[in-house]
Amino acid sequence: MVNTVLKPVKEKEIPILVEFEEGHEKNGIRVIADGRKATCFVASPGWRSQKIVILYDDEEDPMMAFTTKYYLFNEPGKMSWGHQGEVMEMFHLE
Domain assignment present for residue 4? The answer is: no
Domain assignment present for residue 55? The answer is: yes
Q: Note the pLDDT tens digit of each residue in 8-59.
A: 999 999 999 886 655 566 789 999 999 999 999 998 877 778 999 999 998 8
Domain assignment present for residue 31? The answer is: yes
Q: Give residue 71's domain range.
A: 13-92
How many C-beta atoms lie closer than 10 Å to residue 31's C-beta? 26
Domain assignment present for residue 30? The answer is: yes
Domain assignment present for residue 7? The answer is: no
Q: State how many domains the chain has.
A: 1
Cα separations in angstroms, 37 against 40, 45, 55, 90, 91: 10, 25, 9, 10, 10
- The pTM score is 0.85
Domain assignment present for residue 34? The answer is: yes
Domain assignment present for residue 6? The answer is: no
